[in-house]
Chains A and B, each alone.
Chain A
Amino acid sequence: MKNTGTDLTVKVIAARICHESHAFSVLPTTLTDFANQELLVGEQILAQRRSTRSEMGGIIDAADRLGWDLIPVISCNTAPSGPVTRATYEALLEPILREAASTDGLRAVVISLHGSMFVEGLPDPEGDLLRRIKDVVGRHVVLAATLDLHANVTDEMVRHADLMTSYRTTPHVDQFETAMRLCGLVDRTLRREIRPTMHVARRAMIAGMDLGRTLADGPMVQILREARALEHRVPGLLDIGVNAGYPYGDVYDMGPSVVVVGDGDDPAYAQAAEHLMNMAEAMRDVTTVKLVPVETAIQLASEPAAGAGPLLLAEYTDGPGGGGYGDATRLLEALLTARIPGTVVGALYDPVSARQAIALGVGACTVFEIGGRTDARFGGDPVRVEATVVALSDGAYVRRGPFETGTRASLGPCARLDVDGVQVIVASYRIQAEDREQYRILGIDPEGSNVIALKGINHFRADFEPIARGIVFVEAGGIVASDLRVLPYKRVRRPVWPLDA
């Protein structure tokens, strides 16, 4: 059937509300955090996102190709941290609801979500916002969402969205393709070529799929390969989102899931989803990264170097990229005791020590209390040391590694301290290890170092792995816990693996 309305333009609202929220972090996420990273409205979105390899870049490109009349409303994102405050959430969502309510002849809403946001008093904000948008636009307007591969897909999301699709890579390098794919499905839906239905499958697990890693041939790669094969094999099957989930959320439906988008109704779609989740369940404890305790890490670092370049001690459980505080001290304390020559630790989040060092100046020697201020329950108390201020910086650097090359970033006012030969970096911004420039600005040569202990989970590997003689992932008690049983879940369905194993 053809649209016989007088207004032939296809009006589509584009929006993005994206955040991965660690439900157990004591650091609330406010408007300040979004504004300092990404908060664009209206025309600003087109000006800053057109031609970029982002979801919005993909949506804009698709809209151009498909001849949509795109109405960009709001685009926001900030680094993983604690729950988003309710006031912030409502203020970010409101412009979308108002635009949706006031746009005559609206045909679709395309929204870029993470899928693992957590709001104070609202454990499933994506489900909430999809429902509220659907309530405003009515069921004849297509509501479509892109998701991060670490989304916790809830039944509420599936109920209110017409279309959802997820990234297929970790590190995530296919944001653009994900948005293009979604817009293609939206277009076919608007043309009535397809009538999409969604089918979600889960198992009693909140971890698995190797946390979605696709760098090595692990469980995720195998499941994705099978998903692509099913898309070819099953008639009418349009798209499969394979979601590793985010174990630091606290919502009933959390954990790995498969979302199958099919054309019309066919039991084969649900079967495909179940089949893939069977695979995921069978491989749930297969991981391509193994964490070791602090003692093992120290032992490995003390052994004679078996190659060139530094040994990286990645303090996974305190990585800000996963919502960690970035100031846990247990590994630092062990390294200060071990006094291995050529050791560099940091950057640790510690604006107090940074300010203190800057006030004293280079060459000063005094007592510092380093790190451990955010939440001593996770990863240790402040460490009291006598240290000499070796170097100071405003923390600004330009990324030279493969991750966001050429863009500007900053550690904030920061200092390099010397504690009995161990170099410790304290910084004013809570930022993950990501680029060698973070060390060079304080006069440290990462290639020439023996041991670098950094707060990192994934992104640092792009720039550091090529120069390292090895990487040791360390379990040091941070909030990005590897033993999920230490976390005070309240809402997740039970029993569930690995909590009740």
Chain B
Amino acid sequence: MKTTPRKVIVARLSHESHSFSKLVTTLADFAREELRFGPAMLSSAAGTRTELGGITDAARQYSWQLVPTVSACAPTGGPVSRAAYDALTEPLLAAAAAHPDAEAVVLSLHGAMFVEGLPDPEGDLLQRLRERLGASVVLAASLDLHANVTDQMVRNADLMTSYRTTPHVDQYETGLRLCQLVERTLRGEILPRLHVARRAMLSGMDLGRTLRESPMTRLQARARNCEHEVDAVQDISLLAGYYMGDVYEAGPSVLVIGNGGDESCARIAGELIDDAYSWRAEKTVRLQSIDAAIARCREPATRPGPLILADYTDGPGGGGYGDATGLLLALLAAHLPGTMVGPMYDPQTAREAIAAGVGGEREFRVGGKTDPAFGGGPLQLRARVLAVSDGRYVRTGPFKTGTPASLGPSALLECGAVRILVASTRMQAEERGQYRVLGIDVEQANVLALKGINHFRADLEPIARGIVFVESGGIHATDLRTLPYRNVRRPIWPLDD
């Protein structure tokens, strides 16, 4: 018997928004990174190891008729402007109105977006879709492992599942798994119920790291075990949360998808979050003060390769501004031979250096321009221009291998023993190619101070003699008590200890 294919609306709206960053994320940020509409979003996703790649493969397997709407993603940054949010969601809401016969909506979300005046945009979006499409449509979303899962999201979605790795290498599998749950729901094989559990903690699960044995890997192992042993449990997501998101429910959560009204699911969610709570202070990465980092640099090298000073709290990958100067100031004073700093976001200095030309020497005001309150203001210094570049490179490290990227117009400055790479793109350190475009052989550096949290480790950890994670006062703060939370539920660890 020939049946009409099921119509499934698909969209992707992904952003991790640092609530306290003053860099508002606009349409331009999405257009620079990922912004596609209609069929174009599917054709570009086909064959990639992304959520949309997984969703398109699943749709083919289940013979769904996909209605592609919008696919938008921007690098971690400040709150998304209301204008951008409204314009990006409009095509999806219009499709929901135009296709009342859609049986499901499959969304790829981050889960930690923050919009000006709207702390829970994912909850808002799911609710608006629910209102338009009614109770019978299956509303499903994939989430980043750093999602802040809100009650509004849980109330309106039928299905949600998240990544299980950090760095996140299982986007494709997550999209596929979600669609499998959607298909089983549409066939009436399961009657999904979402159970969420949280504790009074804003941080925990070791921020979700799964590179080595950690609270997160232990929790994941237990979760897989429960899925295996308890019939009602269909899927378990462990979410480390994103503590830079100022929403009531911010922080780690456990999300269990149960079949029907089985009591065991809520109990399992509770047990897992209790474990997470008891391990909340356990971390595989420790940050050190600037002074301690400089002291480490003075210790004799026991292995070849640079000592990496990761300026964790200013890492653009976590929403940092990438131009904090506290660590640079200390390194200029320390006079350590072979010190390399950067890339540091400073388009003005890059432009001035390019205008001065290679060999030119002049006064620069380096970095610290975005918000001197976090990590130090601009440094007035005299420097010589060693090299300039358009900043373009092709990634050769393990992260997104073979794809093009760019620092934007950029320059290498020399000031005493310190060389500084200034760039026009606010970009996290991610691989050696970023240094090669300015003629730097980073393996030969003695000390490499970079703006990085996670991704740089893939390409740079193997060549380093060590990594020191530095707390330098940037906006990606590790002492959460310095942040001006307004919406988070209180009391909560570690704010109210």
B288 to chain A, nearest CB (A): 34
**A-side interface mostly:** helix
Scoring A9, A39, A40, A94 by chain B CB atoms within 10 A of each residue's CB, the highest score goes to: A94
- A268 to B70: give the CA distance in the assembly, Å: 53
State whether A90 touches B31 (Cβ < 8 A): no
State whether B88 touches A31 (Cβ < 8 A): yes
Q: Is B60 an interface residue (CB 8 A)?
A: no
- A93 to B81: give the CA distance in the assembly, Å: 12
Q: Is A41 an interface residue (CB 8 A)?
A: yes
State whether A91 touches B35 (Cβ < 8 A): no
Nearest opposing residue in chain B for A28, CB measure:
B94
Q: Which residues of A contact B36 (CB under 8 A)?
A: 35
State whether B28 touches A90 (Cβ < 8 A): no
- A40 to B31: give the CA distance in the assembly, Å: 7
- A32 to B86: give the CA distance in the assembly, Å: 13
State whether A41 touches B37 (Cβ < 8 A): no
Contact of B81 among A32, A40, A88, A94 (CB under 8 A): A94
Q: Which residues of B contact A31 (CB under 8 A)?
A: 27, 37, 70, 87-88, 90-91
State whether B38 touches A41 (Cβ < 8 A): no
Contact of A32 among B26, B38, B83 (CB under 8 A): B38
- A35 in contact with B35 given A41-B28, A73-B28, A94-B81 (CB within 8 Å): yes
Q: Is B285 an interface residue (CB 8 A)?
A: no
- A92 to B406: give the CA distance in the assembly, Å: 24
- A412 to B331: give the CA distance in the assembly, Å: 59
- A73 to B91: give the CA distance in the assembly, Å: 23
Q: What per-residue 1/0 map shows which CB atoms of A29-44 lie under 8 Å from chain B?
A: 0111001100111111
Contact of A30 among B81, B87, B408 (CB under 8 A): B87
State whether A30 touches B94 (Cβ < 8 A): yes
Q: Which residues of B contact A39 (CB under 8 A)?
A: 31, 35
State whether B83 touches A87 (Cβ < 8 A): yes
Q: Which residues of B contact A92 (CB under 8 A)?
A: 27, 87
Q: Which residues of B contact A174 (CB under 8 A)?
A: none
A347 to chain B, nearest CB (A): 18
Q: Which residues of B contact A93 (CB under 8 A)?
A: 83
A112 to chain B, nearest CB (A): 16
Q: Which residues of A contact B69 (CB under 8 A)?
A: 32
Contact of B26 among A30, A43, A85, A91 (CB under 8 A): A91
Q: Is A95 an interface residue (CB 8 A)?
A: yes
State whether B37 touches A88 (Cβ < 8 A): no
Q: Which residues of A contact B355 (CB under 8 A)?
A: 9
Q: Which residues of B contact A73 (CB under 8 A)?
A: 28
- A32 to B70: give the CA distance in the assembly, Å: 8
Q: Which residues of A contact B212 (CB under 8 A)?
A: none
Q: What per-residue 1/0 map shows which CB atoms of B263-289 lie under 8 Å from chain A?
A: 000000000000000000000000000
Q: Which residues of A contact B91 (CB under 8 A)?
A: 30-32
Nearest opposing residue in chain A for B39, CB measure:
A412
Q: Which residues of A contact B87 (CB under 8 A)?
A: 30-31, 85, 87-88, 90-92
Q: Is A191 an interface residue (CB 8 A)?
A: no
Q: Is A333 an interface residue (CB 8 A)?
A: no
Q: Is A74 an interface residue (CB 8 A)?
A: yes
Q: Is B40 an interface residue (CB 8 A)?
A: yes
Q: Is B84 an interface residue (CB 8 A)?
A: yes
Residues of A within 8 Å of B, CB-based: how many? 25
Q: What per-residue 1/0 map shows which CB atoms of B18-54 lie under 8 Å from chain A?
A: 0000001011100110011110100000000000000
A388 to chain B, nearest CB (A): 23
Q: Which residues of A contact B406 (CB under 8 A)?
A: 43
Q: Is A98 an interface residue (CB 8 A)?
A: yes
Contact of A91 among B27, B32, B94, B351 (CB under 8 A): B27
Quick one: which of A1-45 are within 8 Å of B by CB?
Answer: 9, 30-32, 35-36, 39-44
- A87 to B86: give the CA distance in the assembly, Å: 6
State whether B83 touches A94 (Cβ < 8 A): yes
Contact of A41 among B24, B31, B40 (CB under 8 A): B31
Scoring B24, B28, B91 by chain A CB atoms within 10 A of each residue's CB, the highest score goes to: B28
Quick one: which of B49-83 are within 8 Å of A by CB?
Answer: 69-70, 81, 83
Nearest opposing residue in chain B for A40, CB measure:
B31
Q: Which residues of A contact B70 (CB under 8 A)?
A: 31-32
State whether B84 touches A91 (Cβ < 8 A): yes
Contact of B86 among A36, A43, A90 (CB under 8 A): A90
- A90 in contact with B83 given A31-B90, A41-B31 (CB within 8 Å): yes
State whether A32 touches B37 (Cβ < 8 A): yes
State whether A95 touches B38 (Cβ < 8 A): no
Contact of A94 among B32, B37, B84 (CB under 8 A): B84
- A74 to B38: give the CA distance in the assembly, Å: 21
B85 to chain A, nearest CB (A): 9
Q: Which residues of B contact A42 (CB under 8 A)?
A: 28, 32
Q: What per-residue 1/0 map shows which CB atoms of A364-382 lie under 8 Å from chain B?
A: 0000000000000000000
- A238 to B349: give the CA distance in the assembly, Å: 38
- A44 to B69: give the CA distance in the assembly, Å: 23
Q: Is A263 an interface residue (CB 8 A)?
A: no
Q: Is A231 an interface residue (CB 8 A)?
A: no
Q: Which 10 A-B pairs have the closest CB atoms?
A: A91-B87, A87-B86, A90-B83, A95-B28, A32-B37, A41-B28, A41-B31, A87-B87, A91-B27, A91-B83
Q: Which residues of A contact B (CB under 8 A)?
A: 9, 30-32, 35-36, 39-44, 69, 73-74, 85, 87-88, 90-95, 98
Known: A36-B37, A85-B87. 15 other contacts (CB 8 A): A9-B355, A30-B94, A31-B27, A36-B40, A43-B406, A43-B408, A44-B31, A73-B28, A90-B83, A91-B26, A91-B27, A91-B87, A94-B26, A94-B83, A95-B28
20 residue pairs bridging A and B, Cβ less than 8 Å apart = A9-B351, A30-B87, A30-B90, A30-B91, A31-B87, A32-B70, A35-B35, A35-B37, A39-B31, A40-B31, A41-B32, A43-B408, A44-B31, A74-B28, A74-B31, A85-B87, A87-B90, A90-B86, A92-B27, A94-B84
